[in-house]
Amino acid sequence: MIQMRPPNCYIYDIGSTNHTYVNDLKRGHYIKDAVELKDGSIIKAGRTYLKVQIIPEESKEAAGYRCVKCGRELKELEGKSPEELGAKDFICEECRKKGFLHIWIPEKEKEKRRLFGRKRRERAEKGEEAEQREERVISEEFAVKCLKCGRDVTKQANSNGRAAELKDVALYLCEDCALKERVEKEKAGDYILLRQIGIGGMGIVYKGWHKPSGMVVAIKELLPDKLMNEKSLKVFHREISITHDLIHPNIVHFYDSFTRKRKPCLITEYLPRGNAEEMLLKQGEPFTIEKACRIVLQILEGLSYAHERGIVHRDVKPQNILFDKDGRPKLSDMGLAKSFELAGQSGITSPGETGGTPLYMAPEQIIDFRFVKPPADLYSVGVCLYYFLTGKFPYHFPSPLDVLMGAIGLKEVKQPLAIVLEDEPIPILERKPDIPKPLASIIDRCLRKRQEERFRDGGELKGAISGV
């Protein structure tokens, strides 16, 4: 299998009997892992020899931009480099007029906001000065405390005027506590980098602190080795645009975006309780049925919201399910998301590319990454639920929990991409006989090879699990 991820190209041997050789053609020197191909590389497969020619992408393709909502070509952005652009630049004028933000607000919250607004109007009619009125409203409605020491930081928190809007989302630190945590020496605009908390395929993630408001944030910055790749910049800016457009309690909340030292940065809420993978490994055993279903049902709330707006996540996995201070799960990392209504039009994902994490990927995602639909996400959700309940993948391949517990068992395993494409999933009842049969049936349906045999979207799957 050849995987193209411009400017890089890789080859995998997914279990051929004759093995695959690259450049070193001596007997027994066949490739065992992914090998990067270069211009002029020689591939030997059986009695066939191939010489690789790599033709660089045309700069014209890299320069094209399209609206992330309707797909219209944004000719006004021609000649501009990605680092000059912000999230709203990727929305055309037509879509801006229509209103591109789809904000999910529960009915109870809507009523609270109406009451809040009515109280403000009443105070205004009494003739209070604006500043006094604002301070009184804030202090009466809620107080913001430092996450560490409990000091009142309400006035600082409202310095950007967003304290009320973010009262159920944002976390805050006073300056003393923030500086005690600081390990990094750099700044990013008004944000102080505290420490590195993660690294992924596209970016490095820091815990940060917004000095004017005292808000704790997560700062995702494009990896330095990706910086000069025009395509990577476009992918990252698309992530910013999509995250800006998705506002839901079960999707990580977007705050801001900017460019630092020619590196685009995405600022989101900070989730202090880690991810589902870490939670399961710390526990050292599978989740209970109640806990696993509770997590998945809430993630499906966010996923349904994205699907309704034409967005497929394409990288749903336990590491991308994060938990806020109250333990509510949220779907993170929209870096691989793309509007399926615009599939194949952005010029960002080329034919033959794959994205996501192999054992959580649906077969069609491996074959044609650009054109995946919501059922691909539901396959990934099915793998997550299977893993949460059994601690194992639905295939003969060691899971992180297997590795932790030393229960690997198999001396040799197939390449993950080959497993997903060729092997049938192991029915969950074979791994966990005590699971209710209706739930087992739902999970097995999520993992079917043919996407038309799975659930249509997040809403349909959520309804099925809720009905068990």
Q: Which residues are catalytic?
A: 315
What would the 3-class secondary structure string for the chain be? CEEEECCEEEECCCCCCCCEEECCCCCCCCCCCCEECCCCCEEEECCEEEECCCCCCCHHHHHCCECCCCCCECHHHCCCCHHHCCHHHHCCHHHHHHCCCEECCCHHHHHHHHHHHHHHHHHHHCCCCHHHHHHHHHHHHCCCECCCCCCECHHHHHHHCCCCCCCCCCEECCHHHHHHHCCCCCEECCEEEEEEEEECCCEEEEEEEECCCCEEEEEEEECHHHCCCHHHHHHHHHHHHHHHHEECCCECCEEEEEEECCEEEEEEECCCCCEHHHHHHHHCCCCCHHHHHHHHHHHHHHHHHHHHCCEECCCCCHHHEEECCCCCEEECCHHHCEEHHHCCCCCCCCCCCCCCCHHHCCHHHHHCHHHCCHHHHHHHHHHHHHHHHHCCCCCCCCCHHHHHHCCCCCCCCCCHHHHHHHCCCCCHHHHCCCCCHHHHHHHHHHCCCCHHHCCCCHHHHHHHHHCC
Using CB atoms within 10 Å of the CB of residue 270, give its burial: 0 to 12 exposed, 13 to 18 middle, 19+ buried: buried
CB–CB of 379/457 below 8 Å? no
What does the block give as tokens for 155? 């006035």
Residue 427's CB is within 10 A of a number of other CB atoms, namely: 15
Q: How far apart are CA 219 and CA 177, in angstroms?
A: 19
